[in-house]
Copies of this chain bind each other. A is one copy, B any other.
């Protein structure tokens, strides 16, 4: 079994019990006898947003990497939605999705407003091809974090 998989399992094992875990990158690298950047590799490939994790970190003295598990239990609806969204989505399609989300009570009015703004055509000042792509990415990630 590859080291990255072993580290992945170790972290997931902790996350079975806890909602989040705070890592010391160097300490962990030491524990698994690898270079520190391998920890980043594992995090980037196994604990990214679309895998259902949320990662924050700080540098400097007392720095840490926090991996938070996103709790899916609440929303099959939302997960279906996220999975149905392709790599690109237009402003219009987004509006429709968000309206139904609100009607179905999966988000508060402020939350919907926030998502609408972040995916809005006027706010996303980019050329068209890339815009629908960035929008899809933002939208999916935001939806996941609604859970």
List A residues at the B interface (Cβ < 8 Å): 1-2, 4-5, 48-49, 54, 56, 61-62, 95, 108, 110-111, 113-115, 117-118, 120, 122-126, 130, 133-134, 137-138, 141-142, 144-146
Q: How far is the CA of A62 from the CA of B123 in the complex (A)?
A: 26
Number of copies of this kind of chain in the complex: 2
Given A62-B2, A62-B5, A123-B49, A138–B111 Cβ distance below 8 Å?
no
Give every chain B residue within 8 A of A48 (Cβ-Cβ). Answer: 122
Q: How far is the CA of A113 from the CA of B54 in the complex (A)?
A: 9
Of A56, A123, A134, most B-chain CB atoms within 10 Å: A123
Q: How far is the CA of A43 from the CA of B49 in the complex (A)?
A: 34
User: Can you identify 11 A-B contacts, CB atoms within 8 angstroms?
Assistant: A2-B61, A49-B117, A111-B111, A114-B146, A118-B141, A124-B138, A125-B133, A125-B134, A125-B137, A126-B130, A126-B134
Decide if B126 touches A142 in the complex (CB within 8 Å): no
Give every chain B residue within 8 A of A126 (Cβ-Cβ). Answer: 126, 130, 134
Give every chain B residue within 8 A of A95 (Cβ-Cβ). Answer: 56
Name the residue of chain B whose CB is nearest to the CB of A63.
B2
Given A118-B142, A142-B117, A123–B137 Cβ distance below 8 Å?
yes
Q: How far is the CA of A137 from the CA of B123 in the complex (A)?
A: 6
Decide if B61 touches A145 in the complex (CB within 8 Å): no
Q: How far is the CA of A77 from the CA of B44 in the complex (A)?
A: 35
| Distance between A118 CB and nearest chain B CB, rounded to angstroms | 4
